[in-house]
Amino acid sequence: MHAAPAPSRPHATVLLTQAVDALVTRADGIYVDGTYGRGGHARAVLARLSPHGRLVAIDRDPEAVAAAAAVQDPRFSIHHTRYADMAATLAGLGMARVDGVLLDVGVSSPQIDAPERGFSFRFDGPLDMRMDPTRGESAADFLARADERHIAEVIRDYGEERFAVQVAKALVARRTSGHPVRTTGELAELVARAVRTREAGQDPATRTFQALRIFVNAELEELQQGLNAALDLLAPGGRLVVISFHSLEDRIVKTFIARESRSEVDRRAPFAPEQPHRLKALARVKPGAEELKANPRARSAVMRVAERTEHGARS
């Protein structure tokens, strides 16, 4: 039996001051908030901008876009799309270059706290997990059609779950019996029976829920595409600020910044000059003790900051 929804609590924006300090280097610049959420970072960015600055916000969640309607500021606009498609959004606004891009990736607290969205095992609800419920396939629909091998691969690769095969077998056996998993409570109970070893302080369903959410929303693919898009849009001196919440995301960001911070030799033309690096890594930041005490959900957050160099795009 899963608990009823807890009373709603104010959404605490993770690494708020640190992110905005790293991002905003010009008060009259153009900035992109690729993951608006409930606007914590966006409001802080607007507070730093002059009357000539601009903030373009993006979110794939219709509820986040609706919440942004409360922001009545001529310097601000909100767009319902994926941040991986930020180049097309900015082109539609007549913008070719920006001074900073902020990505606070993963699921947001309002999404976790809404039972009807299906992101959390803390209370029962439909097993949806889509960040944009108007598009794509829900987690329940995926589990209703995928074969055992595919389900196991998703849970293993995106959840790093040691018992992925056992969970997949249990899901398919239940489906075959005529009772496919359709709610978060059903999934959490099934995983609790299939996962024999529990990590201290962690619900056995944590990794499976993470895996299905990442897969359903193609989060890692969007992150890679979004990083490439941001790099192409940044003006020299512009900042890339990315906050991630688990190792799979942070590994992609770390690898991307490291790769783009190195000069490279074209092995097909060994005597040609090196292709210069396009980024300079600036910082890796974790929440401090005070923030962790006030907001336990910040405990796994990692923020990485990089700056666009003067060099042009690689061929």
What does the pLDDT read at residue 113? 86
Query: And the tokens for 262?
Result: 């190195």
- Lowest-confidence segment of 147-151, 169-173, 202-206, 242-246 by average pLDDT: 202-206
Report pLDDT digits (tens) over 200-211.
Answer: 778 999 999 999
Q: Are 43 and 16 in contact (CB under 8 A)?
A: no
Amino acid symbol at 115 = P
Q: Is the pLDDT of residue 288 over 60?
A: yes
Does residue 159 or residue 272 have the better pLDDT?
Answer: 159
Report pLDDT digits (tens) over 34-92.
Answer: 999 999 999 999 999 999 999 999 999 999 999 999 999 999 999 999 999 999 999 99
Q: 3-state SS string over 75-96? A: CEEEEECCHHHHHHHHHHCCCC
Q: Which residues pair with 183 in a beta bridge?
A: 126
Q: Which residues pair with 100 in a beta bridge?
A: 31, 239
- Residue 273 — pLDDT band, cuts 50, 70, 90? low
Query: And the tokens for 42?
Result: 């966006």
Number of neighbouring beta carbons within 10 Å of residue 177: 8
Q: State the average pLDDT for the chain.
A: 91
Instruction: Please name each of the domains of the chain with its CATH number.
Output: 16-109+219-308 (3.40.50.150), 132-216 (1.10.150.170)
What does the pLDDT read at residue 3? 43
pTM of the model: 0.90
DSSP single-letter state for residue 239: E
Buried residues in 212-229 as b, exposed as e (16+ CB within 10 A):
bbbbbbebbebbebbbeb
